Amino acid sequence: MFRKLYKNSRTITIYFEGSSIQVEPGQTVAAALLSKGHLCFRNSPISGQPRAPYCMMGVCYECMLEIDGNSSQQACMIQVSEGMDIKIQI
Amino acid sequence: MNPSEYDLSIIGSGPAGIAAAITARKYGLRVLVLDEQSKAGGQIFRNIEGMEKNFNSELRKLGNEYQSGLSLVKEFKNCGADYFNDRSVWQIDADLGIHHVSASSNKVSSSINSYAKTKHLLIAVGAMERPMPFKGWTLPGVMACTAVDALYKSSGLVPDEEVILAGCGPLLLLVACRLLDAGVKITALLDTNRRLALLKALPYLPKALRSIGYLTKGMAMLHKIRSAGIQIYSGINGMEALGNSKFEKVRFKLGEHTLEKSSGMLLLHNGVVPNLQITRLLGCEHRWYDLQRYWEPVHDEWGNTSIDRISIAGDCGRISGASISEFNGYVSALDTVYKIGAISRNERNRLSLPYRKELSKHKAVRQLTMALINKPNYSLLQSSLKIDDLIDPRMNTVSSILKHVHKGTIETAYSILNGEYEVIEAEIIDTSELINKELKNANLPDEIRIGAILRGKDIIIPRSNFVFQKDDTVVFLAKSDQIQIVENMFRISAI
């Protein structure tokens, strides 16, 4: 999907759908998940079709996830933080 | 709640917002800056401080213009404005009370819903990608080109599978080059505009991209794309993205043919439009800007909108790039400083003069282009079309072409389809019969198509009621045997 051009030695732990993943700090949730190969962020509540981040700048709302218990959060606008708990919304 | 009171509140910390904040602080105004992103700089200078800290080599690749944003951002951080990142403005009251909330769900800040009062409001929220819906565009693996740009700047991420680029406009070429630089394989480039529109756009590349870094590299970009062996399909339509859970291939029509191309990702770009969410919600008056085909808030030269005490600056007013946005920011802030009473009207005019001069100079900048002519008989056109210099592509390296570009005195002609057609750029001088004529009454031969007009800094895609003016630069496509007619149309009396 995506590869990293340069590496940051420091990583933090976030949880995606209950599994822990090591990601670099200083990036958005959407970027972090994409860098780990997670492409589908949600399913359309109407058609059930898979959806993924589209604009990466807070305009399209395709990347909404449940983050730390708050639903419908824009993953492309929120920075990852240690221990962050991220879930796909139903 | 004891709301903070500000003289000037600015929404957006891109070049326009930053410049306005710096200026207003210079004259002692209390300034609030709210931005949705985690770092100052906007989309254009996205993550510029992070880049400097960690990825200096990548920063250099993005070009001088991007790097120049660094000093601007640093000056802003030290200017004494109250700057809050990660903030979403969700309500602006009629008395200019601003409600904003953390854009991040971070546990500590999610409860903080803040309120500030301001005497003046400057909206500098920039542009957004023009959406282009088509069947299958919601499939994972279909993304905006600007999204890939953002991933690159903020996280150093690039696609690791082959991509297809689709859309129109010069930025498509820029993205293609950046991806090539990063080692990404590009399967094909699909131009949804009219046939040959990419070629028509080429003369604008230096100007259109001045703010992005690939300065005057229009030809170099095309050269690069061509030599990378990327297939370019111009004038495609009926695009459809196909795949089960993820993008697998794109289907499109080229003339009567239906083609399919497989790839890992499909990246789309159709130019950018002003982000109007706030000005619309505030009820500012808007107008249709036909030349660039979008709505924009009505505003005067100081950025004042139709609503008292609310101004705009930068691309959310009219798409014009980073440097113009920055000057807009200075000018608008000086007007606010005057309205607050910190300077007189005369001082405002005097202090803003250098910026307003820059703005008008920018409008007057002559297109930096070149002539690429591969048939000797076209050299006859050189004097009549005011082409300053001719370059034979077979005898020139890219660097020598760029040398001409820097001189900035050359008009353009491209030979295409093995010389059957020419794309020519010519300036209308005062003896031309086209002046004050509407396009529909210009009696253009069938084999001549006007691609676009450059008027000052505007790029105009003309409609039938377009009226030619002196000094317009006209880009047109002409069949070779029509060159004589072209010459007459742009008739230049004996010099």
What integer pLDDT is reported at residue B462 of this predicted model? Answer: 75
Residues A41, A65 contacting (CB under 8 angstroms): yes
B333-355 pLDDT tens trace = 999 999 999 999 999 999 999 99
What integer pLDDT is reported at residue B207 of this predicted model? Answer: 41
Tokens of B236: 């495609």
Among B103, B138, B264, select the one facing A77 at the smallest CB separation.
Answer: B103
Q: What is the nearest CA distance from A21 to chain B, expressed in angstroms?
A: 17
What integer pLDDT is reported at residue B363 of this predicted model? Answer: 53
Contact A2 B156 (CB under 8 A): no
What integer pLDDT is reported at residue B140 of this predicted model? Answer: 96
SS3 B199: helix
Average pLDDT over residues A49-72: 93
* Mean pLDDT (chain A, rounded): 92
Among B107, B131, B157, select the one facing A34 at the smallest CB separation.
Answer: B157
What integer pLDDT is reported at residue B37 of this predicted model? Answer: 87
Q: Which of B121-130, B162-171, B392-401 has the lowest mean pLDDT?
A: B392-401
What integer pLDDT is reported at residue B215 of this predicted model? Answer: 32
| One-character DSSP codes across A35-87 | HTT----EE-TTT--EE---SSSSSS-TTEEEETTEEEEETTTSB--TT-EEE
- Higher-scoring residue by pLDDT: B486, B1: B486
Tokens of B455: 């008027």
What integer pLDDT is reported at residue B101 of this predicted model? Answer: 87
B32-70 pLDDT tens trace = 999 998 889 988 888 888 777 766 666 666 666 677 788
Contact A6 B157 (CB under 8 A): no
Average pLDDT over residues B69-82: 93
Q: What percent of chain B has pLDDT over 90?
A: 38
Inter-axis angle of helices B345-364 and B322-340, to 10 degrees?
170
What integer pLDDT is reported at residue B454 of this predicted model? Answer: 75
Going by pLDDT thresholds of 50, 70 and 90, the confidence category of residue B131 is confident
What integer pLDDT is reported at residue B375 of this predicted model? Answer: 39
What integer pLDDT is reported at residue B230 of this predicted model? Answer: 86
Residue B130 gets which letter from DSSP? Answer: P
Average pLDDT over residues B123-138: 91
Contact B154 A51 (CB under 8 A): no
What integer pLDDT is reported at residue B55 of this predicted model? Answer: 64
Q: Using CA of residue B4, residue B10, residue B15, residue B16, what is the dihedral sign?
A: negative
Q: What percent of chain B has pLDDT over 70?
A: 67
What integer pLDDT is reported at residue B104 of this predicted model? Answer: 65
Average pLDDT over residues B383-410: 38
Sequence-separated (6 or more) residues with CB below 8 Å from residue B440: B464, B465
Inter-axis angle of helices B64-77 and B322-340, to 10 degrees?
20
Average pLDDT over residues B360-387: 41
What integer pLDDT is reported at residue B379 of this predicted model? Answer: 42
B281-321 pLDDT tens trace = 999 999 998 766 789 999 999 999 999 999 999 999 988 77
What integer pLDDT is reported at residue B403 of this predicted model? Answer: 38
Contact B245 A31 (CB under 8 A): no
Which is it for strands B421-427 and B294-297: parallel, antiparallel or unpaired? unpaired
Q: Which of B56, B60, B85, B104 would you mutate first to test chain A, the one with the most A CBs within 10 A? A: B104
Average pLDDT over residues A57-82: 92
Average pLDDT over residues B424-452: 74
Average pLDDT over residues A35-62: 92
What integer pLDDT is reported at residue B387 of this predicted model? Answer: 43
* Mean pLDDT (chain B, rounded): 76
What integer pLDDT is reported at residue A55 of this predicted model? Answer: 93
What integer pLDDT is reported at residue B63 of this predicted model? Answer: 64
Residue A42 has pLDDT above 90, yes or no: yes
First to last CA, chain A: 24
Query: CA-CA distance, A74 to A63, in Å (whole number)?
Result: 6
Tokens of B454: 């450059």
B176-193 pLDDT tens trace = 877 888 888 999 988 876
B237-290 pLDDT tens trace = 899 999 999 999 999 998 889 999 999 999 998 878 899 999 999 999 999 987
Nearest Cα neighbor of B304 from B281, B285, B326 is B285
What integer pLDDT is reported at residue B348 of this predicted model? Answer: 96
Average pLDDT over residues B382-386: 42
Question: Considering only alpha carbons, which residue of chain B is nearest residue A34?
Answer: B157
Residues B317, B328 contacting (CB under 8 angstroms): yes
Contacts of A62 in chain B (CB under 8 A): 138
- Higher-scoring residue by pLDDT: B375, B433: B433
Tokens of A10: 């420091």
Going by pLDDT thresholds of 50, 70 and 90, the confidence category of residue A24 is very high
* Single-letter code of the amino acid located at B488: N
B134-138 own/partner pairs: CB under 8 Å, 24+ apart: B134/B239, B134/B240, B134/B241, B135/B240, B135/B241, B136/B240, B136/B241, B136/B242, B136/B243, B136/B247, B137/B241, B137/B268, B138/A44, B138/A49, B138/A51, B138/A54, B138/A62
Report CA-CA distances (Å) from A6 to A3, A19, B88, B158, B472: 9, 25, 31, 10, 46
Tokens of B492: 């230049």
Residues B14, B126 contacting (CB under 8 angstroms): yes
Write the burial class of residue B35 (CB in 10 Å: 0-12 exposed, 13-18 middle, 19+ buried): buried
Contact A6 B54 (CB under 8 A): yes
Contact B156 A4 (CB under 8 A): yes
- Higher-scoring residue by pLDDT: B18, B212: B18
Contact A2 B158 (CB under 8 A): yes
B450-486 pLDDT tens trace = 767 778 767 677 777 889 888 787 776 666 666 666 6
Among B105, B147, B156, select the one facing A73 at the smallest CB separation.
Answer: B105
Query: CA-CA distance, B311 to A6, in Å (whole number)?
Result: 41
| One-character DSSP codes across B365-398 | PPP-B-BB--SGGGGGHHHHTT----B-GGG--H
B17-42 pLDDT tens trace = 999 999 999 999 999 999 998 889 98
